[in-house]
Homo-oligomer: A and B are copies of this chain.
Amino acid sequence: MARKRRPAARPEEILDAALAVFTEMGFAGARVEDIATRAGLSKGAVYVYFDSKHAILTALVRRLADRVIGAAEALVEAGAAVSAEQTLRSLLGFIAVQMSDPKISAAPRLVIAESQRFPEIGAMYRDVVLARVRRLIARILEKGIAQGAFRDVAPEVLLRLCGGPIVAHMFLTTVFADPDAPGPAPDVIAKGIADMVLNGLKVRQETAT
């Protein structure tokens, strides 16, 4: 076989290939050789760069999550000027749109699937990703309460109320997708969720601040 020597580029290429293969076949269904072939390498070469199949998964999840969370943090940072409500709306919209991309939602899906067998990966996701999400939510909430715009709810509740619907939407459009009944577009859902998170379900006389 023809050989190329480009060590610097390899890890990224392998992770790209791994994302594609994992997304198609799931972690258990993916063969390391599939990943290697897709990356234009032999199986042995993969083991030059990663210790095990799981090390590939871990690195992949880290990379995927880091990108999205980094962007989300920048977005909240940039929202320092505007109202807490507006920041929360943009954040929800951003995450909802991101998570509607199967290439990106693959990360949490893989983590959830594999953490049964390998709890470390669940712990890693919690410490690396969820901790940062918690911080974002807490910051927006504090600001909103300080401004008198938000009720004083527990951050853990708000985390579940904001993250949950997005995760639910992600599952409903990937794992539980019905080819015959396509669901609503992500931005429509994002707006619907944001409206409800902010205004609630009950009918009221509009006398908000």
Residue positions of A touching B, CB distance < 8 A: 25-29, 85, 88, 109, 111-117, 122-123, 125-126, 130, 144, 148-151, 153-154, 156-161, 163-169, 171-172, 175-178, 183-184, 189, 192-193, 195-205, 207-209
Chain A interface, >50% SS class: helix
Q: Min CB distance, A146 to chain B, in Å?
A: 12
Contacts of A149 in B (CB 8 A): 202-203
Name A183's closest neighbour in chain B (CB-CB): B156
- In the complex, which of the residues B115, B163, B184, B197 contacts A175, with contact meaning CB atoms closer than 8 Å? B115
- Asked if residues A189 and B160 are in contact (CB atoms below 8 Å), the reply is yes
Partner of A196 from the list B28, B29, B157, B189 (CB cut-off 8 Å) is B157
What is the bound-complex CA distance between A203 and B153, given in angstroms? 11
Report Cα–Cα, A97/B157, bound state, in Å.
15
How many monomers of this protein are in the complex?
2
On whether the beta carbons of B198 and A201 are closer than 8 Å, the reply is yes
Q: Contact at B208–A116, with CB atoms within 8 Å?
A: no
Contact with A165, one of B28, B148, B161, B177 (Cβ below 8 angstroms): B161
A3 to chain B, nearest CB (A): 33
What 10 pairs between A and B have smallest CB-CB spacing? A200-B200, A26-B116, A164-B164, A164-B168, A164-B165, A113-B113, A157-B192, A205-B207, A160-B165, A199-B200
Which chain B residues border A177 with CB–CB below 8 Å?
Answer: 122
What are 30 A-B residue pairs whose CB atoms fall within 8 Å in the complex?
Answer: A29-B116, A109-B116, A111-B175, A112-B112, A112-B171, A130-B176, A150-B201, A150-B202, A151-B199, A153-B192, A153-B196, A154-B184, A157-B184, A157-B189, A157-B193, A157-B196, A160-B165, A160-B168, A160-B169, A161-B201, A163-B164, A167-B171, A198-B200, A198-B201, A198-B202, A199-B200, A199-B202, A204-B204, A204-B207, A204-B208
